[in-house]
Structure 1
Amino acid sequence: MFDFIIKNSKTFEIIIGTSFVIVAIILLIFAYKYERRQKANSSPMKKMTALSILAALSVVLYYFIKFPITYILPFMPPFLEIHFSAVPIYIAGFLFGPLSGAVVAVLRFLAKLPGTTTMGVGELQDLIIGLLTVVVASLIYHKIKTKKGSVIALSSTVIIWTFVSVITNWLFIVPFYISLYFGGDASAFTQMLSKLPGVDNNYMLAYILYAVIPFNLIISTLSSVITFLVYKRVSIAYDTVGRFENIESKRINLK
């Protein structure tokens, strides 16, 4: 089966790439229509301020709060880093809806581009993962607004995140890195993966099985757990600010 995929890799790349684009467009359209149907629970200015803060926090978490995966799994490639920039994206989606979460993901993507070391390819992968996971998770949570619903929603992010990471690394991330940094010499790339079992036989399979999948399971699970722990507190704080604004508004109107 794997040999068949390798022989027809270009066809599979086109099919899977096209499918990703179609699914992403459908999800974004659905997210837009869903959020428009919802009654506004806050003023546009208040919502815009909250989204701006969450987007800024996402960027800060990406640039300044991260560490190499080798701290947890020493055999992993050192260029894989754990960060928590997805947490504000999921909080935005849970608070306001899937489109708002997607907006924060796009703002994070744009803010990361000036400092890119991958000509935007790594950032594009993060954007794809962010969009797909936040739209699906937010739709699930807004359909089932309970603790159980949040668990289901955040569990979906782990599955989608890991699956998309496998596909995107296979399709364009790894080939692009090899082309950009090693002039197309895959053997130079495999030296960075020397601690992974089976890398000499099939570097792509070894990288996906022993690096991509474990790494993304860890980072997506950590992001989901943190979101689960802090979201309710953020929601309460946001609602408290809203009630305070309403009280002040009524006082002003009475004068």
Structure 2
Amino acid sequence: MNNNLFTSVMENTMIVTVFILLIVAMFVAARIAETYVAKKNGDVNPGMTTRKMVIIGIFSAISAVLMLFEIPMPFAPSFYKLDLSDLPAVIGGFAFGPMTGVMIEFIKILLNLILNGTQTAFIGELANFIVGCSYVLPASIIYIFKKNRQIAMISCLTATMIITLVGSSLNAFYLLPAFAKLYGMPLDALIGMGTAINPAINNMFTFILFAVAPINLLKGSVISGITLLVYKKLSPVIKNASLTASEKRAAESEI
């Protein structure tokens, strides 16, 4: 483990506090959405079934593995990389609702901390969780209202726009200043790393416009495309064992 987790927690109390509050907010939003839709549809919320817990565990592990495979982007500094670790959370959220998606995101981060520790005083992990949930939550919330291909496309498109907006705003107002403080360097030095790659980057706005926003837009687009391609085939398999005959037919008809 690269850093001692306990020491990092003690030295970065504020970051950990914000992290906890954001985790709670994500879970609350997911729970409210699921409860509202269940009441609207007259459904009985089954809560945490055994199959759902198994899926969450498996998908969290897959997400943690995917998090290890990071792809550098030629238009951004080396500390910005693309990974597809949010994909299992989106599929899980589509299948069982936003609460499942958020839980997969949360456990993914825990697994990554256990396996690799933190080199960013939790700043990187916080960012990954927030940005991941900014896609998973809106996508799964929109989709649970009416599960068909058109709504799936709308949910993915909306989530892609939201992840781009949230990722860009988070970097501009929190992450980049936090990283500059963490590593004891002026903010201009980080922007200069972008300038070295793209001369059009010369301030915070252009850094976000030409480096950060494109990464999040690309990430959302790739996750959306893969989700729309594979979810219909995976849905009956994910849900099959716990569904009635009519529910199985409904699962097979999704997107």
TM-score category by the smaller chain?
Answer: 0.7 to 0.9
Counterpart position of 2:147: 145
User: Aligned letter for 1:87?
Assistant: L
How far apart are residue 242 of structure 1 and its match? 4.1
Counterpart position of 2:226: 226
Choose between structure 1 and 2 for higher RCO, CA contacts under 8 A separated by at least 6 residues.
2
Distance (whole Å) between structure 1 residues aligned to residue 89 and residue 27 of structure 2: 18
| Contact kept? 2:83, 2:219, Cα under 8 Å | yes
Distance (whole Å) between structure 1 residues aligned to residue 57 and residue 48 of structure 2: 14
Equivalent in 63, 67, 74 of residue 62 of structure 1? 67
Distance (whole Å) between structure 1 residues aligned to residue 65 and residue 37 of structure 2: 27
Q: 1:32 and 1:241, CA in 2 relative to 1: closer, same or farther beyond 3 A?
A: closer
Counterpart position of 1:170: 172
Deviations 1:153-185 (A, max 9, x none): 11111011001011110111000111122x132
Counterpart position of 1:82: 82
What secondary structure does 1:192 align onto? Answer: helix
Q: 1:237 and 1:25, CA in 2 relative to 1: closer, same or farther beyond 3 A?
A: closer
TM-score w.r.t. the length of structure 2 is: 0.76
**Greater Cα radius of gyration, structure 1 or 2:** 1
User: Aligned letter for 2:51?
Assistant: K
| Contact kept? 1:35, 1:98, Cα under 8 Å | no
| Contact kept? 1:35, 1:99, Cα under 8 Å | no
Deviations 1:30-55 (A, max 9, x none): 13524765446798111111111011
User: Aligned letter for 1:45?
Assistant: T
Equivalent in 50, 54, 58 of residue 53 of structure 1? 58
| Contact kept? 1:196, 1:207, Cα under 8 Å | no
TM-score w.r.t. the length of structure 1 is: 0.76
Q: 1:117 and 1:107, CA in 2 relative to 1: closer, same or farther beyond 3 A?
A: same
Distance (whole Å) between structure 2 residues aligned to residue 185 and residue 229 of structure 1: 44
How far apart are residue 25 of structure 1 and its match? 7.0
Q: 1:215 and 1:102, CA in 2 relative to 1: closer, same or farther beyond 3 A?
A: same
Q: 1:35 and 1:61, CA in 2 relative to 1: closer, same or farther beyond 3 A?
A: farther
Q: 123-132 vs 41-50, which deviates more? A: 41-50
| Contact kept? 1:196, 1:206, Cα under 8 Å | no
Q: 1:123 and 1:242, CA in 2 relative to 1: closer, same or farther beyond 3 A?
A: same
What secondary structure does 2:71 align onto? Answer: strand
Counterpart position of 1:188: 189
Q: Map of 1:202-213 to 2, 5 A cutoff?
A: 202=203, 204-213=204-213
Q: 108-117 vs 160-169, which deviates more? A: 108-117
| Contact kept? 1:89, 1:104, Cα under 8 Å | yes
Distance (whole Å) between structure 2 residues aligned to residue 106 and residue 170 of structure 1: 24
Q: Any unmatched runs of 5+ in structure 2? A: 1-17, 245-255
Q: 1:93 and 1:143, CA in 2 relative to 1: closer, same or farther beyond 3 A?
A: same
Deviations 1:179-221 (A, max 9, x none): 122x132343233212223434x2x112101101111101111
